[in-house]
Amino acid sequence: MNQEYDAIVIGAGIIGTCTAYQLSRSGYKTLCVDKLPASGYGSTSGSCAIIRPYYSTVEGSALAYESHFYWQAWSAYLGVEDEKGNVSYNNCGCMVMKTRENGYLQPAIEIMETIGCPYEELSAEEVQRRLPLLNMNSYSPAKLPEHPDFGKPNGGTLTGAVFFPAGGYISDPQLSAHNVQRAAESIGVEFKFNAAVTNIHTKNGAVSGVTLNADKKIVANIIVNVAGPHSSIINEMAGVSSDMNISTRALRHEVAHLPAPDGYDFETSGCVVSDNDTADYLRPEVGNHILVGSEDPPCDEKQWVNPDNFDRSFSNHWNTLAMRAAQRITDLKIPNQAKGVVDLYDVTEDWIPIYDKSSLRGFYMACGSSGNQFKNAPVAGEMMAQLICECERGRDHDADPVHFYLKNIGYSLNLGFFSRNRKVNADSSFSVLG
């Protein structure tokens, strides 16, 4: 006999678990399935888990700023204590360097004024007082190490930065997904792991269930694709890809973990640093390390891959990341042994996620999100639940977009901004901050 549920969420990463949690709170009997052995084992576990409010659009920034308050009250959001412990939010703040390329952050400041997000403009001297290990030479444009001018200051200096106190990071992203799993289980959500979706069933133009591992049929009239880097495969399986203007694909990324310079406690005294001049970002890591990721400058080749078959070993890009960081960080030592993370992002054409229904009745999508939406997961789960509830009651979200109220910042978010049918957003930065 087939098992029956109201909703099936495909993917038990941080956004999938949050979506399952909120669907259950909305009254749906919910099952969350994942092909991996535990929650958060996919791209969530490889996330830099940075919480930051600054994006290149008002909508993206509003969503991110709202999420800051959920992480601040994480245990209250969960309502339960995980036996492994609840994660803590390292609210150290985020510092973004002003450069000519980012308009000296004037567009970002205007967005912060619009959504009421606090910020502080810093001079170059104030930046160095806060983080003495940073020099303020300019090295742009970003180059590869083999370029003859790599590492040579271009003669200019950075004029300062903007500091955003509503930001920081989560040190254990995989545990955060497990936290939400436990919260979801406490209100009735069921989880199946080592359960690959091998077929999506339809009947009369609507979804009717899935097959797991080629032999187990599960019945449901709502299916939510939160499969991360595998989202395009699930969309193809459901037959909805041809009706979408925005698509997703898997992008391989590397992150370097480097020891902080001798005598400097970056783990305690540091913060998230976004450096458009050297095209990298930094954040504190446990053990007084510095995590270094790429802001995807034009000189870096993008590696689009098959999510089931990609190289997890470090490449020369690890060395590029380390050497770019060494341009900015005085006395940074680069070890001979590469340490860090190699994993995947799920990326749309404009790097803005899809939170939407589809052309197939009952099939919904929260995809194109891994790499830049970890921070937004608790709010994204609530958004998806509201979107699904209203669509299931008959609302035509394509013609009459659902609005979601961001209660902590008092902003009404038009979810049509995240539509699968939108045009590529020219205001996007077309990059990610881990």
Determine if residue 259 is left, alpha or beta; phi over 0 gives left, psi from -120 to 50 gives alpha, anything else beta.
Answer: beta
CATH number attached to the domain at 89-169+253-343 = 3.30.9.10
In this structure, which amino acid lies at residue 86?
N
Both structure tokens of 392: 């299931």
3-state secondary structure the chain: CCEECCEEEECCCHHHHHHHHHHHHCCCCEEEECCCCCCCCCCCCCCCCEECCCCCCHHHHHHHHHHHHHHHCHHHHHCCCCCCCCCCEECCCEEEECCCCCHHHHHHHHHHHHHCCCCEEEEHHHHHHHCCCECCECCCCCCCCCCCCCCCCCCCECCEEEEECCCEEECCHHHHHHHHHHHHHHCCCEEECCCCEEEEEEECCEEEEEEECCCEEEECCEEEECCHHHHHHHHHHHCCHHHCCCCEEEEEEEEEEEECCCCCCHHHHCCEEEECCCCEEEEEECCCEEEEEECCCCCCCCEECECCECCCCCCHHHHHHHHHHHHHECCCCCCCCCCEEEEEEEEECCCCCEEEECCCECEEEEECCCCCCHHHHHHHHHHHHHHHHHHHCCCCCCCCCCEEEECCCCEEEEHHHHCCCCCCCCCCCCCCCC
CA distance 231 to 234: 5
In this structure, which amino acid lies at residue 52?
R
Judge contact between 226 and 234, C-beta under 8 A: no
For position 372, what pLDDT does the model report? 82
pTM higher than 0.75, yes or no? yes
Give the chain's length: 434
Buried b (16+ CB within 10 A) or exposed e, 111-123: bbeebebebeebe
For position 319, what pLDDT does the model report? 97
Give the rounded distance of the alpha carbon of 10 from its chain centre: 17
- HSE, CB side, 13 Å, CA atoms: give it for residue 336: 0
Please state the φ and ψ torsions of residue 213, each to the nearest 5 degrees: 50, 35
Of 204, 201, 244, 211, nearest to 354 by C-alpha is 244
CA distance 370 to 351: 10
Give the rounded distance of the alpha carbon of 85 from its chain centre: 22
For position 427, what pLDDT does the model report? 73
For position 148, what pLDDT does the model report? 97
Question: Scanning the structure block, which residue is given the tokens 């535990």?
Answer: 38
CA distance 312 to 224: 28
Both structure tokens of 103: 């308009």
Judge contact between 67 and 375, C-beta under 8 A: yes
For position 434, what pLDDT does the model report? 34
State the sign of the Cα–Cα–Cα–Cα dihedral 387, 390, 393, 394: negative
Each residue's pLDDT, cut to its tens digit, for the chain (434 residues) gives 578 999 999 999 999 999 999 999 999 999 999 999 999 999 999 999 999 999 999 999 999 999 999 999 999 999 999 999 999 999 999 999 999 999 999 999 999 999 999 999 999 999 999 999 999 999 999 999 999 999 999 999 999 999 999 999 999 999 999 999 999 999 999 999 999 999 999 999 999 999 999 999 999 999 999 999 999 999 999 999 999 999 999 999 999 999 999 999 999 999 999 999 999 999 999 999 999 999 999 999 999 999 999 999 999 999 999 999 999 999 999 999 999 999 999 999 999 999 999 999 999 999 998 778 999 999 999 999 999 999 999 999 999 999 999 999 999 999 999 999 999 988 766 565 53
CA distance 276 to 102: 7
For position 269, what pLDDT does the model report? 96
CA distance 33 to 126: 49
For position 430, what pLDDT does the model report? 58
For position 371, what pLDDT does the model report? 76
Please state the φ and ψ torsions of residue 411, each to the nearest 5 degrees: -130, 135
Please state the φ and ψ torsions of residue 105, each to the nearest 5 degrees: 65, 15
The pLDDT tens digits for 311-320 are: 999 999 999 9
Buried b (16+ CB within 10 A) or exposed e, 348-376: bbbbbbbbbbbbbebbbbbbbbbbbbbbb
Domain regions of the chain by residue span: 3-84+172-248+350-418, 89-169+253-343
Spell out the residues 6+ positions from residue 110 whose beta carbon is closer than 8 angstroms to its own: none
For position 320, what pLDDT does the model report? 97
User: Beta strand pairing status for 30-33 and 190-192?
Assistant: parallel
User: CATH fold of 3-84+172-248+350-418, please?
Assistant: FAD/NAD(P)-binding domain (3.50.50)
